[in-house]
Structure 1
Amino acid sequence: MIKNDLKEVLCKKIEIMNKIRTLLEKELDAVVSKDFKRLEEILPQLEEMSMRMSSINEKLESTLKTYGEGVKLIDLLEIYRDDEEMIITLKEFFESLNKITFELQKLKQAIDFHLRYIDFVFSFQRNEITYRKDGSFDKEGPSVFYGRS
């Protein structure tokens, strides 16, 4: 019975992680294409999946406590080493976790790139260094033009 409860919780967690991964892929695509409208549609869905994941995590923690204090998911590989069905479920769980981690890293890299690009573009606007009409460097900063009508 404990095994069935654990397998059920893990299967639900895998399902939610796969949905989160799909949403993260869409979010990455929206960030790269600068589609902020689509990004605004994806974020609430991610938040909802995050809430579901929190609920499943609580169930998983209580299920793991039935195996003893301090038992972690990785310990289950040893506990069920002779149970092929449970090993496959645990393998799917760890693969899903790995895929989400990979998607999060790609998303972080894309966001960091855009932030560095924004800083780069704005650094030109903050820069007071200018050049004269003849192309020589103007150390005093931008020239002032006193136009008269």
Structure 2
Amino acid sequence: MDNTTALAEFLSQHGFYRHSLVRNQIGHLQLVGLLHNTPVDILVDTGAASTVVDLSYCRSKGIPTRDTGKLGGGAGGITLAIYALDGATLSLDGHPLRSDGIYAIDLTHVNEGLVTKGALSCARRARGGRSDLSPSGDRLCDDVLVLTSSKCLTRR
């Protein structure tokens, strides 16, 4: 019996969608989504409690954020201010991501860590969407902008 096909059929019957994933150089899963109708690279973080967007990205794109007054973080016990993205939509293959909210924190330390390990890859390039380098050698693809919990799945 083909368990992969059986699982895919079972999940489809219960309203789940299939999304293409790319494994980066250190084994993290990435995919492409749309945040505020703009393509973003998403890193699937199985330990994440929430979906988190890079705060500086939100500010550069004019995506409204609201200070929650709470502190949080993750890697290395870093404590960072948490902002909510009220009304923001993150979608995968045209389907809105189901989550308990989308939040923003400063992900500078995450991107620096990935660059240091030489593991920052662009899911868009790997999926054939476009190259991450322009003819002049400038990066067209942003750093990892969104971390999402593996429990956030899109459903029909």
Larger radius of gyration: 1
* Structure (1/2) with the larger strand percentage: 2
Higher relative contact order (CA 8 A, sep 6+): 2
TM-score (norm 1): 0.25
